[in-house]
Amino acid sequence: MINNTHHHPDENMLIEFSAGTLETAASICVSAHLHFCSRCREKLLRLDQVGSQIMSQANPIEVADNAFDQVMEKIDSTDLSSTVEKSTAAATTAKNTIDEGFPFSVNKLINTSLISKNWKRLSSSVDVARFKTGQDNYEVALHKICAGGKTPKHDHRGTEYTVVLKGSFSDENAVYREGDFLIREPGDVHQPMGSQNGECICLSALSAPIVPTSPLGFLMKPWLRINPM
Ligand SMILES: [Zn+2]
């Protein structure tokens, strides 16, 4: 795959991702970006190598002789049947939404965590499909902007991560294409617009509702709350 991404997670995010300390919603977005970006995959590989070198030089700690048996016992005693059933049911209902070009991690989310297989309308140009990701800090969702569709001009009250999965969109600053990773912080005002040549689908994680900056903000009622789950 040719690396066409121009917007990447910063070094600190990759370090935290490598160490396994990055929060869930941000990790989902970073892993989606890695599918598209060989540059960040190479960086991550180097960070993982450094991490394992540090681990190998650390002093070993004592574990009980039967530690391995205890872990295996715990796995054996966990009833996974209901989880498997639920995943299979979700996979059947969500089949239509899976996209071959999407990262594996996103298709897995669609299979197991999509709340409804139907897109919900946010405005005449934007639809949303939300995920249940087992954390309560971020609403994680897919957003679909129709070709040439405009989203309302808005500010952010919290952090927003976005990864373009399909198509492209632009705002006042740049054009964002497949794989691009963006972070918006409070005070970043912008108005995303779908490109004219086709729909754009983005993965996003939002920690607080957006703030409309137009006098017609009251039309944005569906945008004004988020639902982390
Ligand atoms: Zn990258």
> What is the chain written as a DSSP string?
----------HHHHHHHHHT-S-HHHHHHHHHHHHH-HHHHHHHHHHHHHHHHHHHHSPP----TTHHHHHHHHHHHS--HHHHHHHHHHHHHHGGG--TTS-HHHHHHHHHHBS-SS-EESSSSEEEEEB--S-SS-EEEEEEE-TT-BPPPEEESS-EEEEEEES-EE-SS-EE-TT-EEEE-TT--B--EE-TTS-EEEEEEESS-EEE-SGGGGGGGGGS-----
pLDDT of 166: 95
Share of residues in the chain with pLDDT > 90 (%): 43
pLDDT of 115: 84
Residue 2's CATH number? 2.60.120.10
Distance 32 CA to ligand 1 centre (A): 10
Distance 86 CA to ligand 1 centre (A): 34
Instruction: Please say if the pLDDT value at position 87 is more than 60.
Output: no
Please tell me the pTM assigned to this model.
Answer: 0.77
What pLDDT digit, counting tens, does each position of 13-47 carry?
999 999 999 999 999 999 999 999 999 999 999 99
Domain that holds residue 26: 1-56+65-229
Distance 208 CA to ligand 1 centre (A): 25
More confident residue, 81 or 2: 2
pLDDT of 94: 45
Instruction: Please say if the pLDDT value at position 101 is more than 80.
Output: yes
pLDDT of 206: 92
Please state the separation of Cα 224 from the chain's center in Å. Answer: 20
- Give the mean pLDDT of the chain: 83
Across 69-78, 126-135, 161-170, the highest mean pLDDT is recorded for: 161-170
Distance 89 CA to ligand 1 centre (A): 34
What pLDDT digit, counting tens, does each position of 135-157 carry?
889 999 999 999 999 887 888 88
Distance 142 CA to ligand 1 centre (A): 20
Mean pLDDT throughout 165-169? Answer: 95
Instruction: Please say if the pLDDT value at position 68 is more than 80.
Output: no
Distance 218 CA to ligand 1 centre (A): 37
Distance CA 81, CA 184 (A): 40
pLDDT of 98: 62
Q: Which long-range contacts (CB under 8 A, 24 or more apart) does 119-125 make?
A: 119/144, 121/222, 122/222, 122/223, 123/151, 123/152, 123/219, 123/220, 123/222, 123/223, 124/149, 125/149, 125/150, 125/151, 125/194
Q: How far is CA 131 from CA 5, 36, 125, 159, in A?
A: 25, 21, 20, 18
Q: Considering only CA atoms, which of 110, 113, 115, 112 is closest in space to residue 97?
A: 110
Distance 33 CA to ligand 1 centre (A): 6
Domain count for the chain, please give it.
1
Distance 29 CA to ligand 1 centre (A): 11
Half-sphere exposure for 125 (CA within 13 Å, toward CB): 19
Count Cβ atoms within 10 A of the Cβ of residue 63 and give its class: 0-12 exposed, 13-18 middle, 19 or more buried: exposed
Instruction: Please say if the pLDDT value at position 90 is more than 70.
Output: no
Mean pLDDT throughout 45-55? Answer: 84
Distance 30 CA to ligand 1 centre (A): 9
